[in-house]
Amino acid sequence: MEKNRLEAFSDGVLAIIITIMVLELKVPPPEAGTPHTASLSDLKELLPVFYSYVLSFIYVGIYWNNHHNMFHATQRVTGGILWANLHLLFWLSLFPFTTAWAGNTHLATTPVAVYGFVLLMAAIAYYILQRAIIAQQGTGSLLAAAIGRDWKGKISPASYLAAVPLAFVSTWIAIGLYVLVAFMWLVPDRRIECALAGQEKS
């Protein structure tokens, strides 16, 4: 099976997820009969929605980036990899929902916890997909060599797992953890880039 269409389909879904989240960002229209006015204070009301949009945009960007690197180190796609990929896309597709809920409730406790839960499930789905590819590649797997001990891939779900209950103590701890993990990933995954570069050289 070719990986091109899987990549194209995933790119399409990720492009739509990252873009439709912005549909939640809307100033309520003026009521019928009132003059059409608007002020910066209307924007202030939207700030929590904007912040959660920014965070989710970065997260989808990170997933797209890592997905790109992972499949660059993948040659063959099996039925199992295909479904593991759809499973990942499923959890990512819930980002617009959790982003909107957290934003609209001005970062209330439950939505912030649920936001972390979906992050956790996406991280687990990513891990499963990675395992499926490595299993298909067998010993001497290019991807396995590339990710090495994969400490980022282990810290992330652990952080989300901690953040979900901590949200009920303080939403700011949970949000702080989400932001921290995002920053950790913003550094592009040089491990795979390096492994690939090394292979191309040899």
Region near a copy of itself per CB under 8 A, out of 106-114, 135-143, 150-158, 159-167: 106-114
According to the binding rule CB under 8 A, does residue 188 interact with a copy of itself?
A: yes
Closest to a copy of itself by CB, 75 vs 110, is 110
Q: Taking CA 189 as the corner, what is the angle to CA 158 and CA 176, rounded to the nearest 5 degrees?
A: 40
Cβ atoms within 10 Å, residue 1: 11
Instruction: Please identify, among the stretches 88-96, 119-127, 130-138, 146-154, the one whose residues bind a copy of itself according to the rule CB under 8 A.
Output: 88-96
166: part of which helix (H) or strand (E)?
helix 151-166
- 181 is a site residue for a copy of itself (CB under 8 A): no
Q: Which helix (H) or strand (E) holds 53?
A: helix 40-72
Helix (H), strand (E) at residue 195: helix 190-201
Q: Does 180 bind a copy of itself (CB under 8 A)?
A: no
Cα torsion for 93, 96, 98, 100, to the nearest 10°?
Answer: -170
Residues in the chain: 202
Contact between 179 and a copy of itself (CB under 8 A)?
no
Surface-to-core class of residue 4, CB atoms within 10 Å of its CB (0-12 exposed, 13-18 middle, 19+ buried)? exposed
Is residue 109 a contact point for a copy of itself (CB under 8 A)? yes
Pick out residues in 13-52 that bind a copy of itself (CB under 8 A).
Answer: 13-20, 22-23, 25-27, 29-30, 36-40, 42-43
Q: Does 127 bind a copy of itself (CB under 8 A)?
A: no
When computed from its CA atoms, the radius of gyration of the chain, rounded to whole angstroms, is 19
Q: Is 114 in the site for a copy of itself (CB under 8 A)?
A: yes
From the list 51, 54, 141, 191, which residue makes contact with a copy of itself (rule: CB under 8 A)?
54
Contact flag: residue 201 with a copy of itself (CB under 8 A): no
Rounded to an integer, what distance in angstroms lies between the CA atom of residue 18 and that of residue 184? 20
Identify which of 59, 69, 68, 131 has the alpha carbon closest to the alpha carbon of residue 91: 59
Chain residues that interact with a copy of itself, rule: CB under 8 A: 1-2, 5, 7-9, 11-20, 22-23, 25-27, 29-30, 36-40, 42-43, 54, 57, 61, 64-65, 68-69, 72, 79-80, 82-83, 86, 89-90, 93-94, 96-97, 100-101, 104-106, 108-111, 114, 186-188, 190, 193
